[in-house]
Amino acid sequence: MANGIHYRIGASRPGAHVFEVSCRVEEPDPAGQRFTLPAWIPGSYLVRDYARHVLSFAAFAGEEEVVVRKLDKATWRCAPCAGPLTVRYEVYAFDMSVRGAYIDTARGFFNGVCVFVAVDGRENQAVTVDIEAPEGADDDWRVATTMTPEGADAWGFGRYAAADYDELIDHPVEMGCFDVVEYDAAGVQHCVVLCGRHHANRDRLATDLARICDEHVAMFGELPHMQGYMFLTRVLGEGYGGLEHRSSSALVCRRDELPDDSDKVSKPYRRFLGLASHEYFHLWNVKRIKPAVFTPYKLDAESHTELLWVFEGITSYYDDLALVRSGVIDASSYFSLVSDTIARVLSVPGFRSQSLADSSFDAWTKFYKPTETSPNAVVSYYAKGAMAALALDIVIRERSDDEFSLDDVMRAMWQTYGRTGQGVPEDGFEELCCSVTGLDLTPFFNRAIRGTGDLEIEARLAALGIKLAPDPRERPRSALGFKLKKGTTHVGTVFNGGAAEAAGLSAGDELVALDGLKVSPDGWRPLVRHYTPGDTATLHAFRRDELMAFEVTFDLAPSRRWKLVADEEAPTASVARREAWLLSSTLR
């Protein structure tokens, strides 16, 4: 073991969802070697305490067992001993999400944070890993990972290597029987690994993803250095999710989101393309252009930054924009994606309560730990961040007389922070926005990012020759200002300032009857349809086990659907601006 730290991962009982892992350290700390597992995974800002899935932990120096003491929830310390020291432990792996580890008799997947302990004090040292086939695995099981092979054949079990712990945990590993769709982008081999049963049209997938990847590469000017890229895609009946890594991403999608043989882009397929586009954009924005507080990552506890909206919101803006710029979808399809984002923000009152800076900073304890009142108190730094990015892009275009755009700022972010590996200071994005464009954008940041001011999206879109209006197909609806918990008659959230709040309803109340008619989970909407705004009614509900009656007055429901349409009568300058905005980066 030339480089001193060597891991091995296998599974003798895959059916019990257990990985067996060992870590051998040639020269352990003479004061007693410590090992830790991360509390969170970069890209998902919640403390997950991965160490809680460790089932057993033992240490050996040669054949001799070494005493191990646990120091806290995620740290083990071995008694001082002469090397080499080997720790062996089992990890329960039954988390199908992109943030976890999973093994059964048909497939396996892991993120390094779930299974590989860090050797304290040696995080910067190179490591090797033997990935072994689980017991009973069929001969056609393969391995998909962008970790560097060191003896392992392509797609094979065997030895892999990483330059340090950070690299080790940034290459998730998929194992089992899977399909591979290959294509080239920026002269680098890209693969979509499809695990799970599917009927996807592979050529179509390769063609569309290549165009989207080319668009992102052209926008930034280059693909970061890498040997190859993989979308590790788990195909399920239900599910959705993605997590970015330095040269791969883990995706979960529904079977019907993969393309069929038609040449139309269905809504489900558009959603999949948007997800893949999002994770790919992260190759630049958050994997390499990162907040200073993540440089390096401190994975034992929360790391707070006001910039998550830059990394997730701006990425959410460009993920869909790349679909239209690359020509995979048309402008009207893109406009409906923008209107969905606007509706997602404006239909939840939290956008009036929390700023994007605060939403970013408190993501750990608010966005990722929702309560009954979260819709009132919390705004998504993804959706509103995307809307703010759109507004900022238009402001820059308009005020610089179309000399600059957000694209120029993102390219400068790549040159200044991404290529250099220097972390983005908390005021770094705003400063670059101002210096690149020569504009004073502080008032915009005060209002849109640090404040909860109106983004004036309707006026902004007008500057692109686009009209925004409530969808005329939406009929006025009456509402009581609360949301039921899915599939139940229990009140999930009472919206601030609405009719339910005025009448005294509370989250948790179990609705029983409206004007004497029984309430059911599916029957609530049809029941309410007969009331118009201003009507009154008696609503019966149980609060815990006590029956209560409420006199309610119906409100007009806020509009939930918006429509964006190209305004053919817009001034020529606005139309030209719109065309420049939607133009492929490959043609600039």
Q: Which chain residues interact with Zn ion by CB under 5 A?
A: 312
Note the helical H segments in 516-571.
524-528
User: Is 492:507 a contact under the CB 8 Å cutoff?
Assistant: yes
d(C-alpha 152, C-alpha 316), whole Å: 36
Closest residue to Zn ion, Cβ-based?
Answer: 312
**Would you say 315 or 336 has its CB closer to Zn ion?**
315
Helix (H) or strand (E) holding 337: helix 331-346
Residue 578, both tokens: 């719109």
d(C-alpha 149, C-alpha 131), whole Å: 10
**Would you say 312 or 393 has its CB closer to Zn ion?**
312
d(C-alpha 337, C-alpha 331), whole Å: 10
How far apart are CB 501 and Zn ion at their closest, in Å? 34
d(C-alpha 431, C-alpha 425), whole Å: 10
How far apart are CB 135 and Zn ion at their closest, in Å? 36
Query: Helix (H, G, I), strand (E, B), or coil: what is residue 4?
Result: coil
Find the farthest-apart pair of alpha carbons in the chain and give their distance in angstroms, rounded: 83
**Would you say 390 or 480 has its CB closer to Zn ion?**
390
Tokens 């997947």 locate to: 109
**Would you say 93 or 387 has its CB closer to Zn ion?**
387
User: Is 478:535 a contact under the CB 8 Å cutoff?
Assistant: yes
Helix (H) or strand (E) holding 578: helix 572-582
Sort 327 into a burial class: Cβ within 10 Å, 0-12 / 13-18 / 19+: middle
User: Is 482:505 a contact under the CB 8 Å cutoff?
Assistant: yes
How far apart are CB 243 and Zn ion at their closest, in Å? 8
How far apart are CB 493 and Zn ion at their closest, in Å? 25
List of E strands, 157-273? 158-162, 173-176, 178-185, 188-195, 228-236, 241-244, 248-254
Per-residue three-class SS string for 476-507: CCEECCEEECCCCCEEEEECCCCHHHHHCCCC
How far apart are CB 284 and Zn ion at their closest, in Å? 12
How far apart are CB 331 and Zn ion at their closest, in Å? 24
**Would you say 215 or 312 has its CB closer to Zn ion?**
312
**Would you say 312 or 509 has its CB closer to Zn ion?**
312
How far apart are CB 288 and Zn ion at their closest, in Å? 14
The C-alpha angle 259, 263, 267, rounded to 5 degrees, equals 55
**Would you say 33 or 247 has its CB closer to Zn ion?**
247
How far apart are CB 282 and Zn ion at their closest, in Å? 6
**Would you say 386 or 409 has its CB closer to Zn ion?**
386
DSSP label at residue 311:
I
**Would you say 312 or 430 has its CB closer to Zn ion?**
312
Dihedral of CA atoms 473, 477, 483, 487 in degrees, nearest 10, equals: -70
**Would you say 348 or 386 has its CB closer to Zn ion?**
386
How far apart are CB 506 and Zn ion at their closest, in Å? 35
How far apart are CB 536 and Zn ion at their closest, in Å? 45
**Would you say 312 or 407 has its CB closer to Zn ion?**
312
How far apart are CB 244 and Zn ion at their closest, in Å? 6
